[in-house]
């Protein structure tokens, strides 16, 4: 089990795992935009992009499979909290790490914007 906090407006941009599956949860009182991009070569959904708002009055879990790039932005007014579970322990060793980084604007800078009503 892991825990992360995000200041209002902050973006923790794209990364992916080759082997690890993540399960994300954001408490209902928080509001975090999760962006997913399928970068798995040959996947039926290769290149697909999905934006989900987590928290925002609801409780739900999101499973992020290996090979799906993901990042988030706190779109709430207060510090956002992310509780996440992984099936592979983190290793900081370069030869053993499972985490790959991508640029914050990998899916386009506009992906982080929220609709204004």
Mean of pLDDT values over 100-117: 83
What is the secondary structure of 48-117 as a DSSP string? -EEEEEEETT---EEEE-TTEEEEEEE-SSS-EEEEEEESS----STTT--EEE--TTTT-GGGG-----
Closest by Cα among 70, 64, 35 to 50: 35
Compute the distance between CA of residue 111 and CA of residue 97 in angstroms, rounded to an integer: 27
CB neighbours of residue 20 within 10 Å: 16
Q: State yes or no: pLDDT of 110 exceeds 50.
A: yes
What DSSP element (H or E) covers 19? none
Residue range 13-44, pLDDT digits in tens: 999 999 999 999 999 999 999 999 999 999 99
Question: Contact, 11 vs 83, CB < 8 A?
Answer: no
Question: How far apart are alpha carbons 56 and 47 in whole angstroms?
Answer: 27
**Domains identified in the chain and CATH numbers:** 2-89 (2.60.120.10)
pLDDT tens, position by position, 34-71: 999 999 999 999 999 999 999 999 999 999 999 999 99
């Amino acid at each position: 089990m892991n825990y992360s906090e995000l200041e209002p407006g902050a973006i923790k941009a794209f990364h992916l795992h080759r082997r690890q599956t993540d399960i994300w949860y954001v408490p209902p009182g928080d509001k975090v935009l999760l962006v997913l991009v399928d970068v798995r070569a040959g996947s039926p959904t290769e290149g697909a992009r999905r934006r989900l708002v987590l928290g925002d009055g609801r409780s739900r879990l999101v499973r992020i499979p290996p090979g799906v790039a993901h990042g988030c932005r706190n779109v709430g007014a207060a510090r956002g909290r992310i509780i996440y579970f992984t099936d592979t322990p983190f290793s900081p060793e370069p030869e053993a790490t499972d985490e790959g980084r991508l640029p914050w604007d990998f899916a386009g800078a506009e992906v982080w914007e929220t609709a204004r009503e």
